[in-house]
Chains A and B, each alone.
Chain A
Amino acid sequence: EPEVTQTPSHQVTQMGQEVILRCVPISNHLYFYWYRQILGQKVEFLVSFYNNEISEKSEIFDDQFSVERPDGSNFTLKIRSTKLEDSAMYFCASSGGGGGGRLVSEQFFGPGTRLTVL
């Protein structure tokens, strides 16, 4: 079964540094997402992306965050100047266009990148 992959699995950075989290969505999916989960808390929506533009974003997704699909396979989340409170597990998800009866709204998650900001 195709899977969403994410790299790195763990990223440690200093406060104020830029980080880029990378994802390879399922190959024929058309919709891409980022979520985050702070330890012990709910999974929270950050942003959705379709047709090379953001389709929806949450209040968390402020000017420090950006997303990009630089080529036909990768989907990235950039945090420009990391803060201590950005420490969390970041999940990429994808959906749609897979055929086999799957609907656009069935989102499949990657294993996550654990971001630690010191």
Chain B
Amino acid sequence: QKEVEQDPGPLSVPEGAIVSLNCTYSNSAFQYFMWYRQYSRKGPELLMYTYSSGNKEDGRFTAQVDKSSKYISLFIRDSQPSDSATYLCATGANSKLTFGKGITLSVRP
């Protein structure tokens, strides 16, 4: 079983839509959970970070973690064309981050 699995894409939505991006992980030892945004041929940019079950909100973005089912989600409200990018979930326990494969989101004007 892969350590971090992410819903395959790509995903295309109209501007203003609510976007839901999801990942599952297999290792119970993972303690912290991140979402990164990556534009084409650029480095991953840290969007959201959490280390506990529950929701964490930052502007239009909400990260949700359910440790009991090993499920992590990112919600984007009122999506904008500038949100078009690849979104990577990542999780870890010590110094190593394990990434999902990423999902490419396209927000149509």
B46 x A108 contact (CB < 8 A) = yes
Neighbouring B residues of A58 by C-beta, 8 Å: 96
Neighbouring B residues of A106 by C-beta, 8 Å: 34, 46, 49
B43 x A107 contact (CB < 8 A) = no
A112 x B96 contact (CB < 8 A) = no
Q: What residue in chain B is nearest A112 (Cβ atoms)? A: B43
Is the interface on chain A under 10, 10 to 19, 20 to 34, or 35 or more residues?
Answer: 20 to 34
Query: For B31, B95, B101, which residue has the most chain A Cβ atoms within 10 angstroms?
Result: B95
Neighbouring A residues of B17 by C-beta, 8 Å: none
B44 x A48 contact (CB < 8 A) = no
Shortest CB–CB separation between residue B35 and chain A, in angstroms?
12
Shortest CB–CB separation between residue B95 and chain A, in angstroms?
4
Q: How far is the CA of A96 from the CA of B96 in the complex (A)?
A: 14
Of B31, B46, B99, which contacts A42 at CB under 8 A?
Answer: B99
Decide yes or no whether B78 CB sits under 8 A from chain A. no
Q: How far is the CA of A109 from the CA of B70 in the complex (A)?
A: 25
A56 x B49 contact (CB < 8 A) = no
Q: Is the interface of A mostly helix, strand, loop or mixed?
A: strand
With contacts A41-B101, A105-B32 known, is A31 near B95, CB below 8 A?
A: yes
By the criterion of a CB under 8 Å from any partner CB, how many residues of chain B are at the interface? Answer: 24
Q: What residue in chain A is nearest B2 (Cβ atoms)? A: A42
Q: How far is the CA of A14 from the CA of B19 in the complex (A)?
A: 44
A45 x B46 contact (CB < 8 A) = no
A50 x B95 contact (CB < 8 A) = yes
Neighbouring B residues of A55 by C-beta, 8 Å: 94-95
Q: What residue in chain A is nearest B44 (Cβ atoms)? A: A109
Q: How far is the CA of A75 from the CA of B20 in the complex (A)?
A: 37
Shortest CB–CB separation between residue B50 and chain A, in angstroms?
10
Q: What residue in chain A is nearest B101 (Cβ atoms)? A: A42
Neighbouring B residues of A110 by C-beta, 8 Å: 43
**A-B residue pairs in contact (CB < 8 Å), sample of 13:** A35-B97, A42-B99, A43-B90, A43-B97, A45-B96, A55-B95, A103-B32, A103-B51, A105-B95, A106-B34, A109-B46, A111-B43, A112-B42
Q: With A45-B98, A55-B94, A111-B43 given, can you name 18 additional A-B contacts, CB distance below 8 Å?
A: A42-B100, A43-B90, A43-B99, A45-B96, A48-B96, A50-B95, A55-B95, A89-B41, A105-B31, A105-B32, A105-B95, A106-B46, A107-B34, A109-B36, A109-B44, A111-B42, A112-B41, A114-B41
